Amino acid sequence: MRPETRAEYNCSAQMDQHILDRGCRGVSSQSRSRISTPANGVMCRLSITEWKPVTGSLPPMSDEDWESEFTKYRASPEFHLLNSRMTLSEFKQIYYMEWIHRLWGRFVGLSFVLPAIYFVARRKVSSQMAVRLAGISGLIGFQGFIGWWMVKSGLKDDLFAPGSHPRVSQYRLTTHLGAAFICYLAMLWNGLTILRTNRLLRDPSAASSVLSNLSDARLAPFKRSVFLLAVLIFTTAMSGGLVAGLDAGLIYNEFPKMGLGLTPPKSELFSDFYSHRPDKSDIWWRNMLENPSLVQLDHRILATTTFTAVMALWAYAKYSTTMRSILPRAAKKGVHGVVGFAWLQVALGISTLIYLVPLPLASAHQAGSIALLTWTVVLGSRIWFPSRAATLVAQRLKTGGVPSSTATMTAKSRFDAAPGVGATRLAGNEGGLTKGQVVQSRGFANFTRRVESIQPSR
């Protein structure tokens, strides 16, 4: 390939990657707004009793259409037991809220799927990225089906029984919420990965120093802590889905106590009422997932544990001598961002509970969980060693006019200068490194070997 052609090709490829990065992060932002839309917190989700992926994009256009939709709603358990006095004008309000929620979901899906098809069809992305884009696109489509599956649970005939409360299944609601979170996180992570790779490739020489720091084995405990924190935040958010599905936020509207003590009585938390088996063998897990009192207590415990974990991570980053010396500056800023959103989320959660779950506060609390998880993922992306980017940086150092010997010596000198992870300490483990530290330290040694092994393009 001629140098001019190669330069034009690289410029075009970088532009495509830039567009793909902006697309992933842009659509993930749209997904974030859809997850926190008010339709998830009110009963309007049962106002549309059918699922029409194509024709449902348009609202009723005439009085006859509105009357037809209202007739379908009047046949639902929710109307008979909760909204029997609802007028047509009131029905239009809840209908439009659910319709906007579904329309926004379609818009988010098309905003991702159509560009993904273009990039894959034109072969502007790697095969690995093409598989990721296909997986996310499939998850977006499946998310629409999960949404209807959730709504259908609130339209069952057995909800007409006396004493029943028409609502969607808390299991299906949490599944719908979890799938949305996973889809959003997949878009966010891929966007951050592309963005970071492009930044490293802009200055391969400086990137080698960054990669050297990220390969430091002493960062491993911090990386694991961030990953476990992200899992904990996700689990806490899913428990919030159970709280919303059971309206568990409408009881014990006080904090930190629940009634006369920190927890309700044991007889209330593990009631026989929720057991479906004669031998009561399911009493534990059914109460944990179906008893509003225990579900709220579980959410409180998980939220408190999450907040404690965030503060512990902050203390580790701030007061550990090792972390202060090796953590990248961007990671330190990321830790402060996680702490800030954790405090905000605690304030929103307590306020939502005390004020009997008003819609604006409930929506803000749900959005806060997404923001906290987002910042944790961003923090993780700043400390993770990008092996794919390391390979590309090694290739760029060889083909970008930098002599291989110079690039290798520069990288090795930075590597050897890092205390505790130098090449001399790797030999026979004489420096006292653990087996895990040796393995991770050799990761950057392999990176420097790539610089030596890659032949210049002709």
CA separation (Å) from 38 to 102, 128, 322? 12, 36, 45
**Which residues fall within 8 angstroms of residue 428, CB to CB, at 6 or more apart?**
none
User: Does residue 431 have a pLDDT over 60?
Assistant: no
- What value does the mean pLDDT of the chain take? 81
In the chain, the percentage of residues whose pLDDT exceeds 70 is: 77
Band the pLDDT of 419: cuts 50, 70, 90: very low
Alpha helix (H) ranges present in 259-328?
Answer: 266-269, 283-290, 292-319, 321-326
In this predicted structure, the answer to whether residue 73 has a pLDDT above a threshold of 60 is yes
* Per-residue pLDDT, 215: 87
Please check whether residue 40 is in contact with residue 105, taking contact to mean a CB–CB distance below 8 angstroms: no
Nearest to 21 by CA among 188, 139, 186, 136: 188
Residue spans per domain, the chain: 12-202, 204-385, 393-453
Predicted confidence band at 421 (pLDDT cuts at 50, 70, 90)?
Answer: very low
The pLDDT value given to residue 386 = 85
Per-residue pLDDT, 43: 53
For the cut 90, the answer to whether the pLDDT of residue 454 exceeds it is no
Q: Given pLDDT bands bounded at 50, 70 and 90, which one contains residue 374?
A: very high
Mean pLDDT of the region 2-27: 47
Q: Please, which pLDDT band fits residue 392 given cuts at 50, 70 and 90?
A: confident
pLDDT in tens, 227-251: 999 999 999 999 999 999 999 999 9
Q: Omega of the bond prior to 328 within 30 degrees of 0, cis?
A: no
* pLDDT band with cut points at 50, 70 and 90 for residue 408: very low
Please, which pLDDT band fits residue 262 given cuts at 50, 70 and 90?
Answer: very high
pLDDT in tens, 276-288: 999 999 999 999 9
**How far are the Cα atoms of 320, 371, 379 from residue 376, in angstroms, in the given order?**
20, 9, 5
Report how far apart, in Å, the C-alpha atoms of 61 and of each of 58, 242, 372, 438 are: 8, 36, 41, 68
- The DSSP code sequence of 213-269 is HHT-GGGHHHHHHHHHHHHHHHHHHHHHHHHHHTTGGGS---SS-BTTBSS--HHHH
- At 51, the pLDDT band (50, 70, 90 cuts) reads confident
In this structure, the number of other CB atoms found within 10 A of the CB of residue 236 comes to 24
Q: What is the pLDDT of residues 96-111, one digit of tens each?
A: 988 998 898 899 889 9
Among the ranges given (94-108, 155-169, 288-302, 317-331), the one the predictor scored with the smallest mean pLDDT: 155-169
C-alpha 209/C-alpha 412 separation (Å) is: 10
Q: Which helix (H) or strand (E) holds 27?
A: helix 3-35
Give the mean pLDDT of 448-458.
49
